[in-house]
Amino acid sequence: MYLSSLLIGDNCIFGQIDGQLLRPCLADNLVLKNLTVNREHKFLLNVTTRDGETNSSAYSWFIDTIPPTATIHSDQNYTNAEKIYIDVTFSEACTGQGGFKCVNSSNCDVIINGPAQVHAPSLRIMEHGIKYRLNIILSLRSMYGRIVIRMADNFCTDQAGNHFTRSNGSTIIIHFDRRPVLVDLWTSVPSYELVINGVPRTVLATNKMEDITIFLDFSIPIINSTEQILNALHVNSGSLIPIHGKIHGNRRFVFELKKISRTEIVSVELQAGSIIGRTGTPVSSVASITFLYDSTDPGVVLSTSSPNITKEFNINVIVEFMKPVFGFEASMVKVIGGTITRQVHMVTLGTTEV
């Protein structure tokens, strides 16, 4: 029984409340006021008759002023599924006023805002008066979005008559996304524009190890660890070392390439199918990247078709490198006794006529 005061009848000699002695009963009734709430109380009454016989009686009760609350939980706060389930767990049994109920999607003590609805026939009682499980159907008309699931207010009471009150845990947000999960595999290796046989091409090349950084940028956060990402990356030379502290919410992963030979055409490939976005969708495939690492100096040879002694005013000089180079300009050629008039790129890769 839940009380805030107690009436005591005649023949009272003395009593105790929570171990504290009360004054002798001088009146017909005793009223206990201002008792501490939200705790158990014990009352002991001792009576002695005129014949010297004694008798005692004990009574206990609890004063409850705390309203019941409920927590909504889902194992899938991010999903690409058609339906998920939620658990509704009450802080105490809340069975007054009919208790928790869910008759249909429009008459349910779980309220949904967004492209989804409750599936009332799926309601299961996991623990009577305390825990319930319910399916939520997500709309297939929307590729992505979010839904807000919350408890209704004041729909039941506990045994003491306290009305249900929503708490912070009485609302959750579910994000759903059925779009493909994309990844951008790229490197910090510098790019150069090169014309080969009249066709422009972009070439990635470097002679500096510190330039070789591999980046993975995902369109949404993924559930894989850095070690799992590393296992999904395949490189034909050297080894990749993760740079920790640059994950950026599990959307960006950064690696350094180490231990490669002085000259190497390096290819990096990602096995995207083993990487999963946080909504459960596998990552889409992505093209591999290839670049040149060369730390050896290029050899160069100067030649000309003109004789050593000539009356011609213009002499063609061919600058031939032993391997492709980038950024060569005629101004890099030093001439004594003449000037460079023009520079013509020859068809042969790495050869320039001045």
The answer to whether residue 277 is domain-embedded is yes
CA 16 to chain CA centroid, nearest Å: 58
CA–CA gap between residue 73 and residue 186 (Å, rounded): 39
Measured on CA atoms in the order 225, 226, 228, 233, is the torsion positive or negative? Answer: positive
The count of C-alpha atoms lying within 13 angstroms of the C-alpha of 262, restricted to the half-sphere facing its C-beta, is 4
The answer to whether residue 4 is domain-embedded is no
CA distances from 17 to 37, 233, 271, 318 (A): 14, 73, 73, 111
CA distances from 277 to 28, 84, 217, 249 (A): 75, 17, 12, 12
State pTM to two decimals: 0.68
Residue closest to 314 by CA, chosen among 272, 282, 344: 344
Tokens of 199: 């066709």
- In 3-state terms, what secondary structure has residue 238? coil
CA 156 to chain CA centroid, nearest Å: 35
Judge if 21 and 54 occupy the same domain: yes
Judge if 190 and 250 occupy the same domain: yes
CA–CA gap between residue 44 and residue 26 (Å, rounded): 17
Task: Specify the pLDDT at position 215.
Answer: 95
Judge if 94 and 194 occupy the same domain: no
Domain holding 90: CATH number? 2.60.40.1220
Backbone φ and ψ of 116, nearest 5°: -160, 170
The answer to whether residue 283 is domain-embedded is yes
CA–CA gap between residue 267 and residue 212 (Å, rounded): 12
CA–CA gap between residue 127 and residue 229 (Å, rounded): 41
- In 3-state terms, what secondary structure has residue 274? helix
CA Rg, the chain, in Å?
A: 41
Judge if 267 and 336 occupy the same domain: no
CA–CA gap between residue 93 and residue 161 (Å, rounded): 11
Judge if 96 and 121 occupy the same domain: yes
Q: How crowded is residue 3: how many other Cβ atoms within 10 Å of its Cβ?
A: 14
Task: Specify the pLDDT at position 132.
Answer: 97
The answer to whether residue 7 is domain-embedded is no
Q: How many domains would you assign to the chain?
A: 4
Tokens of 131: 């825990």
Judge if 213 and 311 occupy the same domain: no
The count of C-alpha atoms lying within 13 angstroms of the C-alpha of 305, restricted to the half-sphere facing its C-beta, is 4
Judge if 153 and 196 occupy the same domain: no
Judge if 74 and 53 occupy the same domain: no
Contact 185, 129 (CB under 8 A): no
Q: What domain range is 350 assigned to?
A: 298-354
Average pLDDT per block of 10 residues along the chain, 354 residues long? 39 64 59 71 72 74 85 95 96 93 94 96 94 96 95 93 94 96 95 80 87 93 94 94 79 92 91 94 95 85 80 80 73 78 53 51
Task: Specify the pLDDT at position 307.
Answer: 80
Amino acid at 105: S
